[in-house]
């Protein structure tokens, strides 16, 4: 696990791999998916980070999230001998999806829209214990959103729902083009951290200064993709 360290703070920085059609993709300045090169092989990239001592990798399955066949099972087969924990987000909407992820070796999952439905969450939590499940939320203008909801969810309601499900970890992503490091988002993070939630953040984190500023507001770790170039 990589860390950004200064005289004032030390915080984990976790590589993020976005998968689409079996390739590693990233976002351009306009928020569009771009392929960095035709050889953006997710297994090669993941093995590169494992060789560099990374023990946790966050994968966003854009195929599963949009109803297309997932290539994550093939990726996990290639990682069977690696001491890497894979945290997966994207397309985990119900018990069947959770069981599929469990079957091909995913250790941690991030759920979002399932948070709306108690029955669905109970079934997912019968597959993965709450210690292996994170809530995936978006923020904009200092407010919280679940999935593509247009209306924010009240912080009190979210807290009640998290405690109902026994969840304590959150992946909080700012909605493009807003940076997670903006002041109103930092204040939101502080409020959530003060309630005892472990907050992992993503979204336009561009520099060490952003990371260190976020750590001062109670962030447990930062997810970044553009910080890490594809292997040559």
> Which of the four pLDDT bands, split at 50, 70 and 90, describes residue 27?
low
For residue 225, which of 82, 25, 84 has the smallest C-alpha distance? 25
- Using a CB cutoff of 8 Å and minimum separation of 24, what contacts does 150-155 make? 155/188, 155/191, 155/192
Q: Summarize the confidence of residues 40-68 as an average pLDDT.
A: 88
- Any bridge partners for residue 139, and if so which? 144, 174
> Domain extents for the chain?
11-224
DSSP letter for 231, please.
P
For residue 100, which of 71, 73, 68 has the smallest C-alpha distance? 73
> Which of the four pLDDT bands, split at 50, 70 and 90, describes residue 136?
very high
Query: Please, what CATH class does the domain formed by 11-224 belong to?
Result: alpha beta
With DSSP H G I counted as helix, E B as strand and the rest as coil, what are the percentages for the chain, rounded to 5?
Answer: 35, 30, 35
* Residues 64-106 pLDDT 10s: 988 899 999 999 999 988 889 999 999 999 999 999 999 999 9
Q: Is 83 exposed, middle or buried (0-12, 13-18, 19+ CB in 10 A)?
A: exposed
**53-64: buried (b, 16+ CB within 10 Å) or exposed (e) per residue?**
ebebbbbbbbbb
- The strand pair at 56-61 and 10-20 is best described as parallel
- Look up residue 123 and give its two tokens: 């079934």
How many CB atoms are located within 10 Å of the residue 225 CB? 18
Q: Is 32 exposed, middle or buried (0-12, 13-18, 19+ CB in 10 A)?
A: exposed
Report which of residues 154 and 231 the model is more confident about: 154
Positive or negative CA dihedral for 184, 188, 189, 194? positive
Which spans in the chain are helix H? 42-51, 62-65, 72-78, 95-103, 118-127, 155-165, 183-194, 208-215
pTM over 0.75: yes
């Amino acid at each position: 696990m990589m860390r950004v360290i200064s005289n004032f703070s030390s915080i984990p920085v976790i590589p993020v791999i976005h998968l689409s059609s079996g390739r590693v993709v990233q976002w351009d300045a306009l928020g569009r998916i771009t392929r960095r090169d035709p050889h953006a092989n997710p297994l090669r990239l993941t093995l590169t980070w494992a060789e560099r001592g990374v023990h946790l990798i966050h994968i966003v399955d854009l195929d599963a999230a949009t109803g297309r066949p997932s290539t994550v099972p093939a990726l996990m087969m290639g990682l069977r001998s690696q001491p890497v924990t894979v945290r997966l987000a994207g397309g985990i909407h119900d018990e069947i999806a959770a069981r599929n992820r469990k079957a091909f070796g995913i250790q941690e999952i991030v759920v979002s829209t399932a948070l709306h439905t108690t029955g669905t969450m109970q079934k997912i939590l019968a597959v993965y214990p709450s210690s292996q499940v994170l809530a995936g939320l978006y923020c904009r203008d200092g407010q919280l959103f679940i999935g593509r909801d247009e209306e924010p969810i009240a912080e009190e309601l979210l807290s009640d729902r998290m405690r109902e499900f026994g969840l304590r970890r959150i992946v909080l992503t700012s909605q493009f083009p807003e940076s997670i490091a903006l002041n109103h988002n930092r204040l939101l993070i502080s409020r959530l951290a003060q309630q005892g939630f472990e907050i992992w953040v993503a979204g336009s984190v561009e520099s060490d200064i952003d990371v260190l500023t976020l750590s001062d507001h109670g962030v447990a770790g930062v997810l970044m993709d553009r910080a890490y170039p594809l292997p040559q």
